[in-house]
Amino acid sequence: MRIALFQGTPKPLDVPGNLQRLRHQAQLAAERGAQLLVCPEMFLTGYNIGLPQVERLAEADDGPAAMEVVEIAQTHRIAIVYGYPERADDGAIYNSVQLIDAHGRSLCNYRKTHLFGELDRSMFSAGPDHFPVVELEGWKVGLLICYDIEFPENARRLALAGAELILVPTANMAPYDFICQVTVRVRAQENQCYLVYANYCGAEGEIQYCGQSSIIGPDGSLLAMGGRDECLLLAELEHEQVVHGRQAFPYLTDLRQELHLRKG
């Protein structure tokens, strides 16, 4: 499977403009043979927008913005992962990402479980204990968001559930470049899975984003990496590399899970 990753500057509060950008990037990615496009965290609205704007712009997972993403995916025959503020049936607002396949079907809607700092916590509720693994184009895929990937337990849980590919929309900011440069590569290698880390670049209010988005192989190698500017990254994924990685480093089969269920 060929994957595309869009690293862009945030355009806060401009949902129509961000949907238009998504349409353009989906077209470019599809023209280059990609079957999946991954965009950053809170892509439709911007991340650093404050609670009043989050409350104003939050939508259900099948709201008007989602329906336009469905149409974009169907038009360009490409699966799309995008971040947005989700309003649940009970009124709670989550930092969510949704995976729409090339036929316009929602395969997964994931709510961020580990909120980062006061900014995240002031805008969102923490997601529930729900780490689904779904199938896309013959691949078993899991989703995490930004800070989630910094806890090794989250990626390991997805890998133990069969994930071969972990998609991580993010809004990682300075001075946390080491997450982009080191942590995500370790997560891929220790779970012998592909990992896609889709970040912003540029500034949003007082936040300066790191850029340095990446597509990483099961051995931790960089298949593609962005710099500090907007870019569309592409890489080819091969099942054989996951199989080889899990044979060379059989951490998942050798892990004594019963030891980690104990407290004290």
Of 39, 146, 193, 201, catalytic: 146
Of 41, 59, 86, 204, catalytic: 41
User: Which two three-digit tokens encode residue 172?
Assistant: 């990682």
β-strand 214-216 against 194-198: which pairing, if any? antiparallel
d(CA 25, CA 19): 10
Cis ω before 175 (30° cut-off from 0)? yes
Residue 112 among the catalytic residues:
yes
Residue 204 among the catalytic residues:
no
Nearest residue to 167 via CA among 125, 126, 210, 216:
216
User: Which ranges constitute the DSSP H helices of the chain?
Assistant: 15-31, 51-57, 64-76, 117-123, 152-160, 177-178, 184-191, 239-248, 251-254, 257-260
Of 39, 108, 112, 201, catalytic: 112
Residue 146 among the catalytic residues:
yes
CA distances from 91 to 104, 125, 216 (A): 26, 10, 37
d(CA 202, CA 10): 7
User: Which sequence positions are flagged as catalytic?
Assistant: 41, 112, 146
